[in-house]
């Protein structure tokens, strides 16, 4: 499973994109569970968020959902953080 995160916004307006492929990873099941939780409460359309806040597009497989600061759920925040940190 490929998990992609695109983060836009912030003071500088810079876009960051990272991706994690869970295939063959020892922690793949943990990633899958986290992704399912993050997708469950996200929107199917982009959200505006707050001025100078970050907006996220999370793609898992062929589904893309959207969320924004400060309204991320715990699962969304954890998934975004891990993908941006560990992803390529």
Q: In the predicted model, is pLDDT for residue 88 greater than 90? A: no
Report the predicted TM-score, pTM, of the whole model to 2 decimal places: 0.91
What are the domain boundaries of the chain?
Answer: 2-86
For 20-75, the pLDDT digits (tens) are 999 999 999 999 999 999 999 888 888 878 888 999 999 999 999 999 999 999 99
Contacts of 63 (CB under 8 A, 6+ apart): 39
- Angle in degrees, CA 20, 54, 27, rounded to 5: 25
């Amino acid at each position: 499973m490929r998990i992609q995160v695109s983060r836009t916004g912030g003071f500088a307006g810079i876009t960051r994109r990272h991706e994690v492929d869970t295939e063959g990873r020892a922690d793949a099941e943990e990633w899958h569970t986290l992704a399912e939780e993050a997708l469950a409460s996200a929107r199917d359309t982009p959200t505006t968020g707050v001025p100078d806040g970050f907006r996220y597009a999370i793609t898992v497989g062929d589904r893309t959902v959207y969320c924004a600061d400060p309204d991320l759920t715990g699962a969304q925040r954890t998934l975004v953080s891990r993908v941006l940190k560990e992803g390529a």
